[in-house]
Amino acid sequence: MGKILMKGNEAIGEAAIRAGCLNYFAYPITPQSEVAEYLSRRMPEVGGVFLQAESEIAVGNMLFGAAGCGARVFTTSSSPGISLMSEAISYISSAQLPVVFVNIVRGGPGLGGILPSQADYFQATKGGGHGDYRLLVMAPASIQEAVEMVMTAFPLAEKYRNPVMILGDGLIGQMMEPVEFPEHLRTEPSNKDDWATNGMDTRKSSKPNLVKTLFLNAEKLEEHNVILKAKYDRMKREEVRYEPYNTDTDYQALIVSFGTMSRVCRTVIDDLKAEGFETAMIRPQTLFPFPEEPIKQAALKESCKVIISIELNMGQMVEDVERSVQGGRPVHWYGKAGGDVPTPEEIIDVIKSFVS
Amino acid sequence: MAKTFKKPEALSDQPPHYCPGCTHGVIHRLVAEVIDELGIRGRTVGIAPVGCAVLAYNYFTFDFQEAAHGRAPAMATGIKRVRPDLIVFTYQGDGDLASIGMGEIIHAANRGEKFTTIFVNNTVYGMTGGQMAPTTLQGQRTTTSPAGRNVEEVGMPVKMAELISALETPAYVTRQTVLKPKYIVRAKKAIKKAFQYQIDGRCFSLVELVSTCPTNWGLTPVESVKWAEENMLPYFKLGEYKTPDDVEED
Amino acid sequence: MQREVMFAGFGGQGILLIGNILAHTAMEEGYEVAWVPSYGPEMRGGTAYCLVVISDRPIGSPIIRNPMHLVAMNHPSLEKFAPMVKPNGVVVINSSLIHIGSDRDDVDELLVPANDIANDLGSIKVANIVALGAFVARSKIVDFEVLRKCVQEQFSSKEKLIPINMAALEEGKKVAQIK
């Protein structure tokens, strides 16, 4: 099948269907409403479930119920909506349910704006809801990558019995690029008979299943948290994904950037190369687990004088970059949070000022 | 009637944690009996609330999920939409359903989600220690309304059965009680009817049950029954508020 | 080699659509493409614009301050974007609605009375396609034959609209060829 030109939001909706997810609950919010509009047409065509809920609070808890009874399920939203879903995300994480969340991030805090932003980095990677939990977070830099991340998110969520979040931004949602839906990424939902409340008759069992998050006994709650931590540690070992760019040169500056922002940085690196000034980039594709070791290694390269975390926010990922580099080199941040994506020219000036 | 004294299959052996005189035990038993009689245990999913019944899953022998506070109707919606063949009920108290979960229950009912809600109304937050609930009666003393519910400040007690019945979407809505055996027979019939409507794929169903909380009311179990009859029943009137047949006959 | 085209005009002039058709055409020719819309409140009634990026390698920044070319369908969009166009770019001006020039002597300015031509063809709605035809014929950014195919495909679900849109494309091309 050839490539088709598709808007990011529509491609994300189609990718979920192609991945084998036929259940979608959502609430409209700019800049992701096209996903709901698209799936309100598409889900009936494929015999799937589409429901527009009364709020994102309800959406989160619908996902909680649906995933609890064993269904493959997902939603899309944007920042303020994810805040409302954060209650359910905490419960879903504790109940160890596979659910895929797509956040087409907009600027904040509060209502903020609707333009491209990466201001939800902390919310996605450090919590957002209450309690000790982590989401597996992936950040696409193109619509094709968004498609592939959505398609791989479902088996990953099932492998870990943990929510997966795709952290996009307004540009990824609104832009059109050619995409294809790799057939090999279609997966069968895993068998969930040992824990899902899918009805005892369904699994031919006489033992009830229970989906719960309450552990009143201190030892039991401790045990539960240790189990969760072991999963997050396993993700750190097995799921780190990143893309190095121009790292085989004697670069003077190392950029760490993800999503839409990283594309601008790629142009920057090309433009500087043409001037004879080598820079490189590590682009985290997973934000949790964070590519700590690859960043550390790249930062410690002899020629590298400085590391710059370039983000569409006021400096969030830079904390993880600092943690990765562990003081081996100076780490700086540059970014904007209003919705204007910095131009290559702007970033070139910034890099030169840090290197000189 | 010896059969009624035998433990229903849908009820577990676990001794309940509820206080003496609490009506949860009776209501659990009625639900379990109905599930047995309808033969649906193998395809039923219960949803526990946050409140005294948070551990309800310990007392039943079928699948259960435990919801976030007030969100049981959204959770039930999620299950019913992806697995319409499952029989789903939420079991919620007055704080869970009529306060924090008001949005979820109204919209689920209005969409006509085909699950059943068992609503236990005892006018107080039991689990957290007897605070004022949306259904606390006018003048009733609680730990957060020490001078009695002042309706000038917090409004009148919410009548959920009436509120849900006012929606245009067809539903089965009834208010019963388990204060005395004569009421219990009727309550069980209502619960069975509610599940039957769900099995038939007809409509959303809500059974409100006027209940007691001797511990937080500061009364003995016997006094509690008397208090509820004298104070609650005149305000929370028993009866069938709506059936899907009403609408279809119009 | 990367080239960028800014399409701009009023909401309702079919700006996003002609950007879409150009991106589709370039994709069919095997180029990397990105179509970047303006979105949000400014879409409702005000200026609508979209940027199409066409490249022979993966596209880096899709945010471009200085596009190579501009197709301006109304006065405010010409005023806003003409100063940003790179030297030697093509600037198409819908002269039915815009009575000023680009005020640039380093660009290839092409006046296209798109609304008048569209009216003559029988529908004001095809003014955007007239402008697209003129732009592609002048800039040769994509193959005109492939463009014809893509316009046809675009209207394949509303077949009775195909003849007028094809005619609009050809009329645009004619204007571009008169130097």
The pLDDT tens digits of the residues spanning A1-32 come to 589 999 999 999 999 999 999 999 999 999 99
Q: Are strands B124-125 and B131-132 parallel, antiparallel or unpaired?
A: antiparallel
Q: Assess if residue A155 is contained within a domain.
A: yes
Note down the domain range covering A142.
Answer: 4-199+226-238
pLDDT of residue B2: 47
Distances (CA, A) of C98 to A163, A295, B198, C104: 53, 53, 65, 15
Rounded CA separation A340/A342 (Å): 6
Mean per-residue pLDDT over chain A, rounded: 97
Considering only CB atoms, A343 lies closest to which of C20, C24, C65, namely: C65
- What's the gap in Å between the CA of C124 and the closest CA on chain A? 27
Residues A279 and A232 in one domain: no
pLDDT of residue C43: 45
- Mean pLDDT, residues B221-250: 90
ipTM score:
0.96
For chain B, what is the domain count? 1
Of A213, A238, A263, the last residue of a domain is: A238
Q: Assess if residue A147 is contained within a domain.
A: yes
In this model, does residue B118 exceed pLDDT 90? yes
pLDDT of residue B247: 56
pLDDT of residue A257: 98
Nearest CA in chain A to C34: A177
- What's the gap in Å between the CA of B224 and the closest CA on chain A? 29
Q: Are B64 and B89 in contact (CB under 8 A)?
A: no
Nearest CA in chain A to C27: A178
Q: Are B51 and B126 in contact (CB under 8 A)?
A: yes
Residues A231 and A296 in one domain: no
For chain C, what is the domain count? 1
pLDDT in tens, C123-132: 999 999 999 9
Neighbours of A43 (CB within 10 A): 19
Rounded CA separation B122/B210 (Å): 6
- Mean pLDDT, residues A218-225: 98
Residues A87 and A69 in one domain: yes
Rounded CA separation A62/A138 (Å): 23
Residues A72 and A87 in one domain: yes
Residues A28 and A114 in one domain: yes
Residues A99 and A153 in one domain: yes
DSSP labels for chain B?
-GGGGSPPTTB-SPPP-PPTT-SHHHHHHHHHHHHHHHT-GGGEEEEE-SSGGGGGGGGBSSEEEE--TT-HHHHHHHHHHH-TTSEEEEEEEHIIIIIITHHHHHHHHHHT-S-EEEEEE-SEETTTTSEE-TTPPBT--BTTBTT-B-HHHH-SPP-HHHHHHTSSS-EEEEEEE-SSHHHHHHHHHHHHHHHHHHHTT--EEEEEEE---HHHHT--HHHHHHHIIIIIHHHS--EEEE-HHHHHH-
All residues of chain A having their beta carbon less than 8 Å from the beta carbon of residue C48 are: none
pLDDT of residue A1: 59
A324: domain CATH number? 3.40.50.920
Put simply, whether B79 touches A (Cβ < 8 Å) is yes
For chain A, what is the domain count? 2
User: Could you identify the residue written with the tokens 């509610």?
Assistant: B194
Note down the domain range covering C139.
Answer: 2-177
- Grade residue C41 by pLDDT with cuts at 50, 70 and 90: very low
pLDDT of residue C64: 86
- Mean pLDDT, residues A217-240: 98
User: Could you identify the residue written with the tokens 């003995």?
Assistant: B220
Nearest CA in chain C to A34: C39
Using the beta-carbon criterion (under 8 Å), do A174 and C24 form an inter-chain contact? no
In this model, does residue B249 exceed pLDDT 60? no
pLDDT of residue C48: 86
Whether the bond between A31 and the residue before it is cis, its omega within 30 degrees of 0, is: yes
pLDDT in tens, A97-110: 999 999 999 999 99
Nearest CA in chain A to C54: A177
Residues A230 and A249 in one domain: no
To 5 degrees, how large is the angle CA B208–CA B211–CA B215?
145
Rounded CA separation C31/A267 (Å): 17
pLDDT in tens, C131-177: 999 999 999 999 999 999 999 999 999 999 999 999 999 999 999 98
- Grade residue A314 by pLDDT with cuts at 50, 70 and 90: very high
Q: Are C35 and C52 in contact (CB under 8 A)?
A: yes
B14: domain CATH number? 3.40.50.970
Higher-confidence position of A321 and A356: A321
pLDDT of residue B106: 98
Q: Assess if residue A215 is contained within a domain.
A: no
In this model, does residue B102 exceed pLDDT 60? yes
Q: Which residues contact A86 (CB under 8 A, 6 or more apart)?
A: A60, A123, A128, A129
Residues A186 and A44 in one domain: yes
- Mean pLDDT, residues A330-350: 94
Note down the domain range covering B112.
Answer: 2-249
- Mean pLDDT, residues B87-101: 98
Residues of chain A with pLDDT > 90, as a percent, come to: 97
A49: domain CATH number? 3.40.50.970
- Grade residue A241 by pLDDT with cuts at 50, 70 and 90: very high
- What's the gap in Å between the CA of B98 and the closest CA on chain A? 15
pLDDT of residue B250: 47
All residues of chain A having their beta carbon less than 8 Å from the beta carbon of residue B105 are: none
- Grade residue C179 by pLDDT with cuts at 50, 70 and 90: low
In this model, does residue B1 exceed pLDDT 60? no
C122: domain CATH number? 3.40.920.10
In this model, does residue C40 exceed pLDDT 70? no
Distances (CA, A) of C67 to A218, A342, C102: 62, 16, 14
Range in A138-147, B181-190, C47-56, C114-123 the model is least confident about: C47-56
To 5 degrees, how large is the angle CA A165–CA A170–CA A174?
110
Residues A35 and A57 in one domain: yes
